Chains A and B, each alone.
Chain A
Amino acid sequence: MPSELVILSLVVVTALLFDFTNGFHDTANAMATSIATKAFKPKTAVTLSAILNLIGAFLSVEVALTVTNSVVNIQDASGAPRPELLQDGGQALLLIVLAGLVGAIVWNLLTWLLGLPSSSSHALFGGLVGATMAGLGTAGVNWLGDGTKPDGVVGKVVIPALMSPAIAIVVAGVGTMLVHKVTKHVLAKYRDTGFRWGQIGSASLVALAHGTNDAQKTMGIITLALIASGQWTDLHQVPFWVKLACALAIALGTYSGGWRIIRTMGKGLVELTPPQGMAAEFSTASVVLISSHMGFALSTTHVATGSILGSGLGKKGAKVNWRVAGRMVVAWGITLPASALMGALMWFIGHSVGGLFGAMIITMIMVAVSAWMYRHSLRTRIDKNNVNADWSDNGKGASLQPAASIPDPTHPREGFADLKELEPQSERELAEVS
């Protein structure tokens, strides 16, 4: 097999792997509240979410071939790859895409290990931006677009990330307040069952919308790689096998259920009641659907988390765990630069080694890092059986520390142990990227 075909295969497999991490990272967006309020059994929730993601992925008939254009300049407006990147079977472009994907996967797995709901699309865009900056310089990045409409890293990623959680907090907060006003004197037997049903409907909407939005991105990236290496020429269509593979990858990822993240979102932020859960789900569904209907890009993760926070603020006496919320916001802030840094690093490694071996080495780095993180996650296993266990506020509830290592509740910084390791590094990353 010629070497460019091997590189292409690596890109395709890595892209599908990213799609898989995207699925399990985002199961929580649709299902965390329903699992926490027991509207669904955990396994039922992830199964339903997986099916809806699968259907959703097939519904995206409209092609997202220009997905990378939001943040980098490796394609032209029609979706065709830039001609200067196409020598040697498009190796220059393939390496940028591969390095970006590896950076995104590593970041997605790291945040999963820490139980932090960060945005998969930020990770993907970050990885691409980093790899492009390393490969083509800062001019390769689309920072602002042409200024006539919201575009580029700032207009399509940064500002929406600031606005969407705020909108979701307001909507869910108002919703929760109204719901509690109306149902103040309602018998508990009607209230809890009723609201669980309401949650099922809105959670399903979020899962379906997620499938249509997110699977499309990977489809676009794989097709771009196929075009760059001359294996596909149609700029208006995604090959059927690509669609099928991406749909299956995101559904499988969703089914495997990122339990650590589900736990943080469902139990870590707010102790949710069924009415709160329903208000949060409806808020997420409507903000996501309305903005994508109006053509604004946003991260489902940010909206879903904002909604849960809002439902905590809207109910009198409900407590929001600001410590967890703070960690999460930090993770949001550094997702883009951190995955950009990893994407850039991967590009440098791949480029220095060069050619087929460069691509193989960064793929192997990804496999090794992923395997290490998976092994690490087994120490504090979270799955369908303990996802709803009580959140120990004194420590890192996300990881259910074994008894011997339960952190000292009198120590204010305890529970940030993992993040402490993360913070200095990420500050460095921020400095380097900016």
Chain B
Amino acid sequence: MMHALIQLLEGGGEVLIFSLILGAGLPTLFAAGVWALSFGAKGVDDVAEHRPHLIAKIFAGLCFAGVVLAILGGIFIIVGHGFGVTLQAGWPLFVSK
């Protein structure tokens, strides 16, 4: 019983750490992209006229791409689970369980 409880607590801790990295990190990355779009808008009189700077756009694009990639990764995990394969950090990306 104690053994199982310790496993659960350890597992919970790991879930918390990874979820903080992804679950709180990805929205922050996304927010950074949104922040970039708005960059330089502070002194602008007419906010409707504000257009993002090219560099800001590229930066924002990279941020959004990161988030999209993570979502695709999530889909791969779900699909992989269904077909009995698991995702790993190295290559090949999928290994049989």
Contact = CB atoms under 8 A, between A and B. Distances in A.
Contacts of B5: 150, 155, 159
Given A155-B8, A179-B31, A279 B24 contact: yes
Contacts of B62: none
Given A144-B1, A150-B4, A282 B34 contact: no
Given A190-B38, A289-B78, A283 B1 contact: no
Interface residues of B, number: 47
Contacts of B37: 186, 190, 194
B1 A296 contact: no
15 contacts: A59-B78, A62-B81, A62-B82, A62-B83, A62-B84, A147-B4, A150-B8, A155-B8, A159-B8, A171-B16, A178-B24, A178-B28, A179-B27, A183-B31, A190-B37
Interface in A274-301: 275, 278-279, 282-287, 289-294, 296
The interface centre, meaning the residue of A174, A175, A279 with most chain B CB atoms within 10 A of its CB, is A175
Contacts of A341: none
A194 to B, nearest CB: 4
A377 interface: no
B68 to A, nearest CB: 7
Interface stretch (A98-106, A200-208, A250-258, A411-419): A200-208
A293 B87 CA distance: 9
Nearest to A188: B47
A287 B4 contact: no
B18 A290 contact: yes
A182 B28 contact: yes
B8 to A, nearest CB: 5
Interface residues of A, number: 60
Contacts, number: 168
What secondary structure prevails in chain A residues at the interface with B? helix
A279 B19 CA distance: 12
A296 B8 CA distance: 8
A167 B19 contact: yes
Interface of A: 56, 59-62, 144-145, 147-151, 155, 159-160, 163, 167-168, 170-172, 174-176, 178-179, 182-183, 185-187, 189-191, 194-195, 198, 201-202, 204-205, 208-209, 212, 275, 278-279, 282-287, 289-294, 296
B12 A163 contact: yes
A172 B25 CA distance: 10
A377 to B, nearest CB: 33
A49 to B, nearest CB: 15
User: Which 9 pairs of residues, A with B, have the shortest CB-CB distance?
Assistant: A286-B23, A175-B24, A59-B82, A182-B31, A186-B38, A283-B23, A194-B34, A286-B22, A178-B28
Contact of B79 (A59, A145, A151): A59
A268 to B, nearest CB: 23
What secondary structure prevails in chain B residues at the interface with A? helix
Given A62-B84, A182-B28, A167 B71 contact: no
Given A175-B25, A179-B31, A279-B24, 14 more contacts: A61-B83, A144-B1, A144-B4, A150-B5, A167-B19, A172-B23, A175-B24, A185-B35, A186-B38, A202-B26, A205-B74, A205-B75, A282-B26, A290-B15
Interface of B: 1, 3-5, 7-8, 11-12, 14-16, 18-20, 22-28, 30-35, 37-38, 41-42, 47-48, 50, 67-68, 71, 74-75, 77-79, 81-84, 86
Given A149-B4, A187-B50, A170 B81 contact: no
Contact of A201 (B4, B25, B68, B81): B68
A21 to B, nearest CB: 23
B44 to A, nearest CB: 9
A416 B57 CA distance: 51
A303 B28 CA distance: 20
Nearest to B22: A286
B82 A290 contact: no
A205 B26 CA distance: 14
B4 A191 contact: no
A182 B86 CA distance: 34
A155 B24 CA distance: 27
Contact of B16 (A150, A170, A208): A170
Contact of A187 (B7, B16, B23, B38): B38
